[in-house]
Amino acid sequence: MYVQHREGHRTDRIGWLRAAVLGANDGIVSTASLVVGVAAAHSTSSDILVAGVAGLVAGAMSMAAGEYVSVSSQSDTEKADLDRERKELASEDESERNELAAIYASRGVEPSLARQVADQLMAHDALAAHARDELGISDLTTAKPVQAAFASAGTFAIGAAMPLVTALVTPRTALIPVVITTSILFLALLGGFGAHAGGAPVVKAAFRVTFWERWRWHSRPGSERCLALLSHDLNLVPQIATPPPFRLNHLERLLDTSETSDIIECVSRRVKAMSKSRRLTNLEALGQAAECLRVLAHPHRLRMVQMLLQGDHTVTELAEACELPTAMASEHLRLMQRCGFLSSEKDGRKVYYHVAEPHLKHILKCIEDRFDSAEGQ
350 backbone dihedrals φ, ψ, rounded to 5° = -105, 150
Q: Give pLDDT, residue 308.
A: 92
Provide mean pLDDT across the span 199-214: 68
pLDDT tens digits, one per residue of 150-175? 888 888 999 889 988 998 888 878 88
Instruction: Answer whether residue 52 shows pLDDT above 60.
Output: yes
Total residues found in the chain within this entry: 377
Q: Is the pTM of this model over 0.95?
A: no
Lowest-pLDDT choice from 8-12, 108-112, 216-220, 283-287: 216-220
What lies within 8 Å, CB to CB, of 236 at 6+ separation is 40, 41, 42, 229, 251, 254
221 vs 79, residue with greater confidence: 79
CA-based torsion, 186, 191, 196, 198: positive or negative: positive
Give the mean pLDDT of the chain.
75
Query: Alpha-carbon dihedral of residues 87, 88, 90, 91, nearest 10 degrees?
Result: 120
Residue 322 has pLDDT above 60, yes or no: yes
Instruction: Place 227 in a pLDDT band, splitting at 50, 70 and 90.
Output: very low
Q: Residue 67 has what pLDDT?
A: 86
Q: What is the pLDDT of residue 32?
A: 87
Q: Which of 77-81, 154-158, 249-253 has the lowest mean pLDDT?
A: 249-253
Phi, psi of 184 (to 5 degrees): -65, -40
Band of pLDDT at residue 144, cut at 50, 70 and 90: confident
Query: Where do the domains of the chain lie, and which CATH numbers do they carry?
Result: 11-216 (no CATH), 243-277 (no CATH), 284-376 (1.10.10.10)
217 vs 14: which has the higher pLDDT: 14
Q: How far apart are CA 332 and CA 335, in angstroms?
A: 5
Comparing C-alpha atoms, which of 157, 142, 173, 151 is closest to residue 75? 142
Q: Which class for 345: exposed (0-12), middle (13-18), buried (19 or more C-beta within 10 A)?
A: exposed
Query: CA nearest 45: which of 167, 162, 159?
Result: 167
